[in-house]
Amino acid sequence: ADSVVWFRRDLRVRDQPIFLAAADSGPAALALFVLDPALLDPSGPARRTFLYGCLRALDDALGGRLLVVRGDPADVVPRVAAAVGAGTVHVAADFGPYGTRRDQAVEEALAVDGRELVRTGSPYAVAPGRVTKDDGDPFRVFTPFRRTWSRQRRRGPADTSAATVRWIDPSDEGSGPRAVRIPDDEPLDAALPDPGEDAAHRQWKAFLSDAVDRYGEDRNRPDVEGTSRMSVYLKWGCIHPRTMLHDLSRHRSGSAETYRTELAWREFYADVLFRRPDSARHNYDRAFDALPSASGKRADELFAAWREGRTGFPIVDAGMRQLRAQAWMHNRLRMIVASFLVKDLHLPWWWGARHFMQLLVDGDLASNQHGWQWTAGSGTDPAPYFRIFNPVTQGERFDPDGDYVRRFVPELADVPGRAVHQPWKLPDGVPDGYPQPIVDHRAERDEALARYERVKAAR
Ligand code: FAD
Task: Quick: pLDDT tens for 277-295.
Answer: 999 999 999 999 999 999 9
Q: In what side-by-side order are the strands of the sheet with 29-35? A: 66-70, 29-35, 3-7, 88-91, 116-119
Question: Are the C-beta atoms of residues 22 and 86 closer than 8 Å to each other?
Answer: no
| Domain with residues 286-458, CATH architecture | Orthogonal Bundle (1.10)
116-119/29-35 β-pairing = unpaired
Residue 69 has pLDDT above 90, yes or no: yes
Residue 178 is given by DSSP the state P
Separation of CA 147 and ligand 1 centre (Å): 20
pLDDT tens for each residue of 203-245: 999 999 999 999 999 999 999 999 999 999 999 999 999 999 9
Question: Are the C-beta atoms of residues 222 and 404 closer than 8 Å to each other?
Answer: yes
Q: In terms of DSSP H, where are the helices of 164-226?
A: 197-209, 215-218
**Mean residue pLDDT across the chain:** 96
Name the binding residues for FAD.
215, 227-231, 259, 262-269, 362-364
pLDDT tens for each residue of 374-427: 999 999 986 688 889 999 999 999 999 999 999 999 999 999 999 999 999 999
Separation of CA 331 and ligand 1 centre (Å): 6
The pLDDT assigned to 192 comes to 97
The pLDDT assigned to 382 comes to 66
* Tally of CB atoms within 10 A around 318: 31
pLDDT tens for each residue of 165-194: 999 999 887 778 899 999 999 999 999 999
Q: Where do the domains of the chain lie?
A: 1-122, 123-157+197-275, 286-458
Interface predicted TM-score (ipTM) of this complex, two decimals: 0.99
Separation of CA 453 and ligand 1 centre (Å): 30
Question: Are the C-beta atoms of residues 103 and 90 closer than 8 Å to each other?
Answer: no
Separation of CA 364 and ligand 1 centre (Å): 9
Q: Between 3.60.40.10, 1.25.40.80, 3.40.50.720, 3.40.50.300, what CATH number should domain 123-157+197-275 receive?
A: 1.25.40.80
Q: Which residues line ligand 1 (CB under 6 A)?
A: 219, 227-231, 234-235, 262-263, 265-266, 269, 331, 334-335, 338, 356, 360, 362-364, 367-368, 371-372, 375
Ligand 1, atom nearest to 360 Cα: 28
Q: Atom 30, ligand 1: which residue's CA is nearest?
A: 368
Q: Atom 43, ligand 1: which residue's CA is nearest?
A: 331
Helix or strand or coil: residue 34?
strand
CATH number for the domain whose boundaries are 1-122:
3.40.50.620
CA–CA dist 181, 84 (Å, integer)? 20
- Nearest in space to 426 (alpha carbons), one of 317, 320, 436: 436
CA–CA dist 292, 234 (Å, integer)? 36
Q: Mean per-residue pLDDT for 440-448?
A: 97
**Residue 213, Cβ density class (10 Å: 0-12 exposed, 13-18 middle, ≥19 buried):** middle
Q: Where are the beta strands (DSSP E) in 92-250?
A: 116-119
CA–CA dist 289, 348 (Å, integer)? 10
The pLDDT assigned to 381 comes to 81
The pLDDT assigned to 383 comes to 66
The pLDDT assigned to 392 comes to 98
Question: Are the C-beta atoms of residues 302 and 340 closer than 8 Å to each other?
Answer: no
CA–CA dist 221, 406 (Å, integer)? 14
